[in-house]
Structure 1
Amino acid sequence: MIFIENEHIKVSFAAKGAELQSILGTNSLTEYMWSGDANYWGKFSPVLFPIVGALKDNTYQFEDKSYQLSRHGFARDMEFEYHHINEQEILFTLTHSDETLKVYPFEFKLSLRYKLSGASLSCTYEVTNPAEKELLFSIGGHPAFAVPLNKQGTYTDYFLSFNNDIELTYYHIVDNLISDKKSVLKLDEGKLTLQHNLFYDDALVIKNLKSDSISILNTKNYNGLAFNFKDFPYFGIWAAKDADFVCLEPWCGIADGINHNQQLKDKEGIVTLAAKQEWKRTWQVTCF
């Protein structure tokens, strides 16, 4: 494993997918990340690139050609190069190749920069367009946090606390695509009690989240975390069926709608990056 650490937390990664796999409290030995139990879901925190979610028929059109990509794209399954900036910062990098160009006809450089500050870990997505033409992409996070922490209490002892929402309007997923059906979850003073059946029909997909901070808290003790994000226009909340975790997923991009025309340039949430430009977004988790 690859890791960075300070006096508060030790954070571990895999080079495959530049995937965050562990956030361990140095003194408390509290593990904040999901265990990766493959009986439920064998991942920890995949990066979603160059698409978020699924394409209609796993296919998109660009410049009169048809391409196929599986759900969430290819970056999570590829080996990243990495180097330690220092003991508390590490940079993972993936660039286009002959392999990626067959399914995604764009030159790119994708970097994930992880950095510690006290009991906080930040993850910055850095996308660079080295080409002379526009780069079209989506990107998102998918970190899975353990619930309950240290196996103390039950799933329903935990809740999500939103800093600026009183209700959540979410879109239903049908056959991996975003449907027109919406539902509303009323929050109790910004709080949503976690229940496994919330996710039996897949993720809660939110397009109009007002909050930029969501905390995972519980009714038994003070252990938890705060998840902060900014300038991600979409958000997903998900867990595998009956699994003891919850994913907090900030997205710049979204799965295709059921009526999408499959044209990449028309895809909802697609980011257009001009030639020779760079793009960044950051999320941060603070453990306590």
Structure 2
Amino acid sequence: MVFAIASSQQQYKTYTLTDKAADSLLEVVPERGGIVTRWSIQGQEIFYLDAERFANPHLSVRGGIPILFPICGNLPDNTYTHNGQHYTLKQHGFARDLPWEVTEQVTQDQASLMLVLESNDTTRTVYPFDFHLAFTYQLQGNQLAILQRITNHSAIAMPFSVGLHPYFLVRDKTQLQFTIPATEYQDQRTKTHHAFTGNFDFGQDEIDAAFRPLSAANASVCDRDRGLQLHLSWDDTYYKTFVFWTQKGKDFYCVEPWTAPRNALNTGTDLISLEPGASLNTWVNMEITFL
């Protein structure tokens, strides 16, 4: 069989999706926030993973593809107001910290794994809505598609944003070339706006750049040192913000499609409001090509 899915009990139960023809492999850990922890193509590791943080259930994972929901980024003082009531919600929301459940496995024409997260008493204390999230990871060749279905089971409209926070492995950041569909970004630490000419100053301790508005629904990063190129595309019906983040001395860079910028739950900027009983489908695709 070309496509296969296996599971093994490590520190956490881990699902391994493979495309033998492409020599491509994806690892997913449902109980650790539904996260993809590894993607390997022809022996090349695509993602960065801080194994020490991953092993500690009290720390957020740095690496793989953390899922951001129901907010992207942070809120001032980690608080927002809904219907006159104040709630506390930590950075990037809770989806990346909670256990997800595998509900479907497919090995025909692709290796595909569907994971589900549903609202519970824990989520309702910080986010007073009933929801059903279904994320499907589809591996085929050098491509990873992430399909997202969000359903509102509340009696009222549900405001949210959703995003992905993939960490890509890099050895020499000066060898990266970026194609990002925007002419300016906001430095998320200083809130200042800067023109974007195609590259970053990697001498800084941290770069946290939010690009919007976007003029296209795709971006690419060429890593000349590793001889590969990342192509990212997204559903521009919903995805409106693109974030680049990295830290000095760390072997990763993050390029993150978000549906809305930071603090959208308070400002309403690009915030999605899903009617009671309604579902929304969206997607993000990643593809690797070798130079």
Q: TM-score range by the shorter chain?
A: 0.7 to 0.9
Counterparts of 2:225 and 2:257, CA distance in 1: 27
Residue 285 of structure 1 and its aligned partner are, at CA, apart by 0.9
Aligned residues with identical type, % of pairs: 23
Counterparts of 2:283 and 2:146, CA distance in 1: 6
Corresponding residue of 2:49: 35
Aligned residues: 262
Which TM-score applies when normalising by structure 1? 0.84
Residue 208 of structure 1 and its aligned partner are, at CA, apart by 1.0
Residue 266 of structure 1 and its aligned partner are, at CA, apart by 4.0
Residue 11 of structure 1 and its aligned partner are, at CA, apart by 0.5
Instruction: Pick from 181, 205, 208 the counterpart of residue 210 of structure 2.
Output: 205
Return closer, same or farther for 1:14/1:240 CA change in 2, 3 Å cut-off.
Answer: farther
SS at match of 2:247: coil
Residue 253 of structure 1 and its aligned partner are, at CA, apart by 1.8
Counterparts of 2:154 and 2:131, CA distance in 1: 8
| 1:120-153 CA distance string (max 9 Å, x none) | 11011211012221111111110011113xxxxx
Residue 14 of structure 1 and its aligned partner are, at CA, apart by 1.1
Instruction: Pick from 110, 122, 132 the counterpart of residue 109 of structure 1.
Output: 132
Structure 1 segment 119-138 matched on structure 2, within 5 A: 119-138=142-161
Corresponding residue of 1:168: 183
Structure 1 segment 242-281 matched on structure 2, within 5 A: 242-256=249-263, 264=265, 266-281=267-282
Structure 2 gap ranges (5+): 1-13, 54-60
Return closer, same or farther for 1:50/1:70 CA change in 2, 3 Å cut-off.
Answer: same
Residues 1:141 and 2:156 are matched in the alignment:
no
Structure 1 segment 1-288 matched on structure 2, within 5 A: 1-7=14-20, 8=22, 9-15=24-30, 16-25=32-41, 28-36=42-50, 38=52, 42-87=62-107, 88-148=111-171, 154-162=172-180, 165=181, 168-174=183-189, 179=191, 181-187=192-198, 192=199, 195-197=201-203, 200-220=205-225, 222-231=227-236, 232-256=239-263, 264=265, 266-288=267-289
> Which deviates the most, 100-109 or 200-209?
200-209
CA RMSD of aligned residues (A): 2.2
SS at match of 1:215: strand
Residue 286 of structure 1 and its aligned partner are, at CA, apart by 1.0
| 1:78-122 CA distance string (max 9 Å, x none) | 000013421300011100111111110001001111112222110
- Say if 1:134 and 1:272, in contact at 8 Å, map to a contact too: yes
Counterparts of 1:242 and 1:209, CA distance in 2: 29
Return closer, same or farther for 1:84/1:4 CA change in 2, 3 Å cut-off.
Answer: farther
Counterparts of 1:3 and 1:253, CA distance in 2: 31
Counterparts of 2:283 and 2:158, CA distance in 1: 20
- Say if 2:47 and 2:63, in contact at 8 Å, map to a contact too: no
Counterparts of 1:144 and 1:255, CA distance in 2: 19
Higher RCO, Cα 8 Å, sep 6+ = 1
Which TM-score applies when normalising by structure 2? 0.83
> Which deviates the most, 277-286 or 211-220?
211-220
Structure 1 gap ranges (5+): 149-153, 258-263
- Say if 2:206 and 2:245, in contact at 8 Å, map to a contact too: no
SS at match of 1:100: helix
